[in-house]
Amino acid sequence: MTSKPVIRVIGSLNIDFVTLTPRVPGPGETIAARSMTVHAGGKGANQACACGKAAFMSRTEQAVKVDIIGAVGADDPYYASLLKPTLEKSGVSTRYVEEIQGVQTGTATILVDEGSNGENRILFVPGANHQINDVGKVLDTATQAGDPDVVVMQGEIPRSITLELLSTFSSDKRKTCVIFNPAPVFEEGIPLSALKNLAVLVVNETECLLLFQTIEELKSIEVPEEQDLTENHLDRLTQHLHDLAAVKTVVVTLGARGVYYSAPISHARGRVPAAKVDRVIDTTAAGDTFVGYFATALARHVADHNVLDDFDVKSAVSRANEAAAKCVQRSGAMESIPFGHE
């Protein structure tokens, strides 16, 4: 490998207002919370941070170059004093973050329910994230100096831009592997055509079921009513995604039950059990940590081999799973994501 692999994350940048509470209040109820803190966040920024941190094989050596493409409000003091330095300290370049006049930076209000094992509830205000509306501009930025090895995308920037970028980067004309984490799943759904030839789809159980309820071509496929999908269910559901959309790799995170993966191109299918932890503090950014670590492993493989074939999916899933387990034992979003050398 003559140069470092390149990951470009196209997605949201937020300021997170995190409140720790003994329980979530009911309608019309006011209760005393434990604390409120302000953090750098956004699924795009979190995943970029995870990619950057995962790439640090030692305290000084970063094996992958990571850029984030997104937007914030101009002159936002939180971006200058918190979000930007947090990303840069994590090994992420912010040169492609646009500062837009007249809009606010995206925000997320996060309630962490300490009485329910650290589960969270999130209110998201898109702000500048929804000003990313010129697909040509985004594409030009993402392909400066050639196609990146990996592009990572989520569901917190406009749907039309996301779908067009997915189709463009997954075409045969591109050398980029796309990792798509449809979180949150767009209310209008995702057309099957947008997933065509996708390199990696990463979803949790809820998102997996939503895909089969919102994609027209998948609505006729029977899905289980229960929330906990068995491996037999997942084998069947993921096979439809392989057959109908040629999605090369599907990864389904299952929380305390671990991670399921299916990748016919690598002859890999199975489940990695969850890593044991003494205490769950905060699940915020656990999924983003997983995506970032998986993306970094994929970028290093693609840069060395130029193809997705023979990628060790199980090994990448296992390492990403361990990183997510470290994340949930810490408070916050980006600051809870571990470095690769840990």
Active site residue 288: yes
Residue 105 clears pLDDT 80, i.e. is over it: yes
Give the pLDDT confidence score for residue 122 in this predicted structure.
85
The pLDDT-based confidence of 129 (bands split at 50, 70, 90) is: very high
Q: Can you give the three-state secondary structure of 225-277, one letter per residue?
A: CCCCCCHHHHHHHHHHHHHHHCCCEEEEECHHHCEEEEEHHHCEEEEECCCCC
CA dist., res. 158 & res. 186, Å (int) = 9
pTM over 0.85: yes
Q: Tokens for 327, please give them.
A: 């994340």
Tell me the chain's radius of gyration from C-alpha atoms. Answer: 19
CA dist., res. 23 & res. 165, Å (int) = 40
- The one catalytic residue in 76, 288, 310, 312 is 288
107 is in an annotated binding site: no
118 is in an annotated binding site: no
Q: Which of 42, 44, 22, 18 is nearest to 32 (CA)?
A: 22
43 is in an annotated binding site: yes
Q: At the top level of CATH, which class does the domain 6-336 belong to?
A: alpha beta
> What b/e readout covers 284-306, taking b as 16+ CB neighbours within 10 angstroms?
bbbbbbbbbbbbbbbbbbbbeee
CA dist., res. 129 & res. 133, Å (int) = 9
Instruction: Please state, rounded to an integer, the average pLDDT across all residues of the chain.
Output: 92
Residue 53 clears pLDDT 90, i.e. is over it: yes
75 is in an annotated binding site: no
Residue 64 clears pLDDT 90, i.e. is over it: yes
Return phi, psi of residue 230, to 5°.
-80, 170
CA dist., res. 251 & res. 127, Å (int) = 30
Instruction: Write down the domain spans for the chain.
Output: 6-336
Q: Is 197 helix (H, G, I), strand (E, B) or coil?
A: coil
16 is in an annotated binding site: yes
